[in-house]
């Protein structure tokens, strides 16, 4: 179990989970406050919460897959050529990680 936790910390999954939870909570709170101030429908805050909850596993998977080191490797030691290389290119184009 300790090795799994160390791998999660090495790949910054823990940091991403904490940051996502904080930012998601802030988004939900802001939408709740602004929803009543801007007279938005009741389902607007629920929609924001839905997308925050839906995006959480995606953020964790992407943080696991993308090891943000200067060598820009993806999937760690499991890198294979072909479709994974195209996936690597798309992730790099989306994130534009600068060292």
Whole-structure pTM value? 0.65
Q: Is 74 helix (H, G, I), strand (E, B) or coil?
A: strand
pLDDT at residue number 45: 93
Interval 33-65: pLDDT, tens: 999 889 999 899 999 999 999 999 999 988 888
| Sign of the Cα pseudo-torsion (18, 19, 25, 29, in order) | positive
Does residue 98 or residue 18 have the better pLDDT? 18
pLDDT at residue number 64: 83
Q: Give the DSSP H/E element, type plus range, for residue 13.
A: helix 13-37
pLDDT at residue number 99: 46
Cβ burial of 45 (10 Å; 0-12, 13-18, 19+) is buried
Q: Give yes or no for residue 30 having a pLDDT over 60.
A: yes
């Amino acid at each position: 179990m300790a090795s799994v936790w160390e791998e999660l910390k090495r790949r910054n999954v823990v940091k991403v989970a904490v940051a996502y939870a904080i930012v998601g909570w802030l988004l939900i709170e802001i939408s709740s406050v602004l929803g009543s101030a801007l007279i938005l429908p009741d389902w607007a805050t629920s929609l924001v919460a839905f997308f925050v909850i839906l995006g959480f596993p995606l953020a964790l998977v992407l943080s696991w897959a993308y090891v943000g080191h200067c060598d820009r490797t993806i999937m760690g030691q499991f890198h294979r050529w072909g479709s994974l290389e195209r996936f690597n290119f798309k992730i790099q184009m989306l994130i534009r990680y600068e060292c």
